[in-house]
Structure 1
């Protein structure tokens, strides 16, 4: 009797062991996501695209949510977006990574957006005309003056630059007070005017907001946080240096 009972218990153990061996293992839980990203330009400019480089672990990620400048963008495929800011200031950008089973992780980086400030004007060429003639009848270089105008009000006037060579590429540098210059395309809220000065009279020979044929730029040195842009009008060619802060 005792032997039969022992055999019975062994048989039951074998059955349970066999059932355990045939059962499927439980699925491993999805690991927590790790959200991370970098900003190519921690100090950038208004109206300029800023690249956000997503460096998160992409395993099991269902979607990324970017929060910036009062906007929340859900991006399921575009993981490295460009964003722009219209106003200068200090901002925070948040990235949220979401897994397929809705686990979340987030991270925040800071960015500073600066304004463009004109720092100098470089005159390459002034439109071709008959400039003043000297006593011997020879054509001489013009005397010029630069003005910065905002809302029809002159906010700065340079001294008179005598005998400026109108064809001396980029050697005619005129420093200006740092002046905010946030235009798009051809025009800005600040107009740069170049006058020829002749016997107490002034003739407007270049304006950054009038009759512009071509606008090029701006170019921008990310490390130095400065750049320049070009205006072409008739035969005039003027470059404006700017800094960002």
Structure 2
């Protein structure tokens, strides 16, 4: 089936930024493929989006699993006819002294933050190149450009994610494909040790703030690409 409605794949869709973006895009008449690990949360989100007016696809699994990623991309194309946007939002972190990390933790963080981004871009690219258009968007972090004590693993993964998207941008521009990277500061979400809504998060960005910023990047004219967007709450020094 093919139609003219815009189609987006969102990873890390079940919570936080991904969930807020999915709801915003649904309200703006997007066809969606939602990707996350938590099947229950994905089903709840899919039901909410269906009530808005479009039935999304959803895929529960590991973004670093090549077969899973290929299946999600191919089923999206088969169902909706095309892909316009891939939003690489899935991410995890581990923090503390370098000697505290296990090799398994290192692999898990790099698999999700870097390999997952690579795989979804790689599997979508043949379809975007055939269409001579499309937009690959990665939600990185301001620590892709700075470091902090206790963040050697997480910062390394985000620097790698940043380098991958920077090189990819130069590679596919000639194919009519946009690549944007969004670097966020502190966001009031489940990602932190304290729960979302904790008083210590006062003044931080909300997932909806991030969703609105991502949608702004997505909503530019065909000849305009926002290569990078750095966004912080006013009360965070950078």
Which structure's relative contact order is higher, taking Cα pairs within 8 Å and 6+ residues apart? 2
Fold similarity call, TM over 0.5: no
Taking structure 1 as the reference length, the TM-score comes to 0.30
Higher gyration radius (CA): 1
Higher fraction of helix: 2
